[in-house]
Structure 1
Amino acid sequence: MKRRDLAKALVASALIAVAPTGFAQPGGHATLRIIVPFAPGGSGDITARMLGEQITKKTGQAVVVENKPGANGIIGVETAKHAPSDGSVLMLATTSTHLANPSLFRNLPYDPEKDFTLVGHFGSGSTFVLVNKDAPYRTLADFVAHAKRHPSKLNYGHFNASSNIPGAMINQLAGIELMPIPYKQIGSAMNDLIGGSLDVIFVDSVAGDSYVSSGQLRAIAAMGASRLPKYPDVPLLTETYPDYNVAGGFLGIAVPRGVPEATLQALNDLINEIVTTDPMKTQLEKLGFHPKRLSLAELAGFVTRERANWRSYVDIAKIAPQ
């Protein structure tokens, strides 16, 4: 063997020796793209980047996260919809993109069930009901009583179409008149809540955690399947209003329709393994999610079922489609 050939063989064998093992590269692509249809820094963006790191560790594939924010996630979803159906492009699926948007927009340019296949599920998270730390109300009952004594004087912040639903629903279920205040960014709403010009906000536990743990804001209730382990004294909203059965935020991974079945299954197996084992399992639980393994069939059923539930939430909230 020539010296040059010997050198090449040694390099190749070294690469094989250090390559990740246990999972083949789904679709055989050296690089995967994860499209996040929202701005950097939110719970979805954080979770997508954690997933990307673990995919690289398990398969050796490079993962590029691309943020495509705008129009309640619609811009990013359209980008993913027209991406190649070969398993090289993944998309962060959220409550907004897959569950709420079909009921909030009349002419939605995509169908979450017909145009995409869900291949992974990070779990359903929790949502905080946050007020100023110096507010005169310490419980949800106190807040509702205060709102009834001051009709149309209190407000709530929302930063996209789907985040308007919780406030509109509590108006109907509690018989109060909170005034909606739209924001372009969640950070601006948080600052106003801290400053006292905003009365309440409904925000996912990932975005709200640092504010609550630092004492800047007070959580008077939470939405989700169970109380947060980190905040066991924060009651669920359903403990006061049983009909308020809105689940916490959903996050998952979808691919454009048409990806080969073998690649779908490989992605499902890979993501299930990542989200239900450490380190990502513990990371997700700290963020308020409850990760579990779901098959492709179970994921399809989840979208169908929860999409119908969010239709009922929009009806209860009396929100007219845009």
Structure 2
Amino acid sequence: MRIGTLLSTVVFAIGVTSGIASAQDYPSKPINYIIPFNAGGESDVAARFQQPFLEEVTGQSIVVQYISGAGGAQAWSQLNGMEGDGYTMMGSNLPHIILQPMAQDVGYTTDDITNVYFFQYTPDALLVPAGSDFQTLEDFVAYAKENPGSVTISGSATNSANHVATTKLNELADIQTTYIPFSGTSPSMTALLGGQVQGSFSYSTAALNQGEEIRVLAVAAEERLPSLPDTPTFKELGYDMVGGAYRGIAVPSSTPEEIRTQLSDLIGEVNANPEFVKKMEDAGFVVISIPYSEMPAFMEEREQQYQSVAETMGIETSSN
């Protein structure tokens, strides 16, 4: 009995010592950075911007990989089956990880996702073709009020940030538009430029990519973007809309607390680098800094905001 107790104590002590050592040495080998979408999208672009800066602060290679499918759910449903040693991290997106499991069974719940940092968002932007009669947001709203349901707005997917933005504008402006979901930002833009829809809720990054082919009526940011200085915010036009697609980094739930905090701190170092911030802002991203310690409050706030429009979007707000 005493021998068994002694062995148990020794095993426990070795485990604790090993955990401390691994945390002290972290990171000591390459880190896999999994993007839950195809290459080329905003999540991938942001990760590629991060990559050299993360390699600088960690002293290790950052290997970007992709697991796409089901709007990110294919990857997120696999996250907790991966090794939680701090060397696997995955892109995490809002509102996806809240609205997806709220709407249906997608193989994971919101609480399954262990977010350690949210570092940026791409503000929703209301776009119209450059030749549109809608010169301003006021023109758009006035026409929509006079023609309930006739104004069509394209967006990337159902239950996405674009869908949320359309629903929110309908409520705040007391208008009724028709949201038409597409499989991604690119086909949504094609529909807009091809005259299939009258407007599109997309992101600031897409607005920059389209250049002179589109007119940006407003962006859902706290203040005007450096990359779109002549475009007003919804707030300055009287509509309390701030939001878009938020992107962060999550780890398997088995990852030790010490490693979670260390990884969060490393990402925070990158976010504080002026060169990184400029690259992001020039591309239309808004840099935010939500570390692991502030994650519970941030997620609670976002869940409340999304739940407030979920019913209007046709989602039953049951437990997720």
One fold, TM greater than 0.5?
yes
Which of 104, 107, 124 in structure 2 is aligned with 1:106? 104
Whole-Å separation in 2 of the counterparts to 1:41 and 1:109: 25
> Over aligned residue pairs, what C-alpha RMSD do you find?
2.3
Q: CA deviation at 1:200?
A: 1.0
SS across alignment from 1:245: coil
Whole-Å separation in 2 of the counterparts to 1:194 and 1:290: 26
Whole-Å separation in 2 of the counterparts to 1:102 and 1:301: 20
Contact 1:39–1:67 (Cα < 8 Å) also in 2: yes
Q: CA deviation at 1:245?
A: 3.0
- Counterpart of 1:95? 94
SS across alignment from 1:177: coil
Q: TM-score, length-normalised on structure 2?
A: 0.83
Q: CA deviation at 1:151?
A: 3.1
- Counterpart of 1:54? 53
Q: CA deviation at 1:241?
A: 4.4
Whole-Å separation in 2 of the counterparts to 1:25 and 1:128: 43
Q: CA deviation at 1:27?
A: 4.5
Whole-Å separation in 2 of the counterparts to 1:238 and 1:293: 22
Which of 106, 118, 125 in structure 1 is aligned with 2:115? 118
Contact 1:120–1:252 (Cα < 8 Å) also in 2: yes
Instruction: Map Cα deviations across residues 250-300 of structure 1 (whole Å, 9 max, x no partner).
Output: 111111112112211221111100111132121122234443544422123
Contact 1:25–1:59 (Cα < 8 Å) also in 2: no
Q: How many pairs does the alignment contain?
A: 292
Which of 276, 300, 320 in structure 1 is aligned with 2:315? 320
Q: Which amino acid aligns with 1:272?
A: G
- Counterpart of 2:197? 198
Specify whether residues 82 and 208 from structure 1 end up closer, same or farther in structure 2 by C-alpha distance, changes over 3 A only.
farther
- Contiguous gaps of at least 5 residues in structure 2: 1-23
Contact 1:125–1:288 (Cα < 8 Å) also in 2: yes
Which of 283, 305, 314 in structure 2 is aligned with 1:309? 305
Q: Which amino acid aligns with 2:109?
A: D
Q: CA deviation at 1:97?
A: 3.1
Q: Which amino acid aligns with 1:33?
A: N
Instruction: Map Cα deviations across residues 223-258 of structure 1 (whole Å, 9 max, x no partner).
Output: 12222123233122233443x434232111111112
Which of 186, 211, 233 in structure 1 is aligned with 2:230? 233
Which of 140, 146, 150 in structure 2 is aligned with 1:149? 146
Spell out the pairing of 1:4-15 with structure 2 (5 A cutoff).
Answer: none
Q: CA deviation at 1:308?
A: 1.6
- Counterpart of 1:267? 263
- Contiguous gaps of at least 5 residues in structure 1: 1-23
- Counterpart of 1:37? 36
Q: Which amino acid aligns with 1:110?
A: Y
Spell out the pairing of 1:148-297 with structure 2 (5 A cutoff).
Answer: 148-161=145-158, 162=160, 163-211=162-210, 214-242=211-239, 244-297=240-293
Q: Which amino acid aligns with 1:311?
A: Q
SS across alignment from 1:249: strand
Contact 1:25–1:61 (Cα < 8 Å) also in 2: no
Whole-Å separation in 2 of the counterparts to 1:49 and 1:71: 22
Instruction: Map Cα deviations across residues 137-177 of structure 1 (whole Å, 9 max, x no partner).
Output: 11111011122333333211122221322223323333333
Matched, 1:133 2:161: no
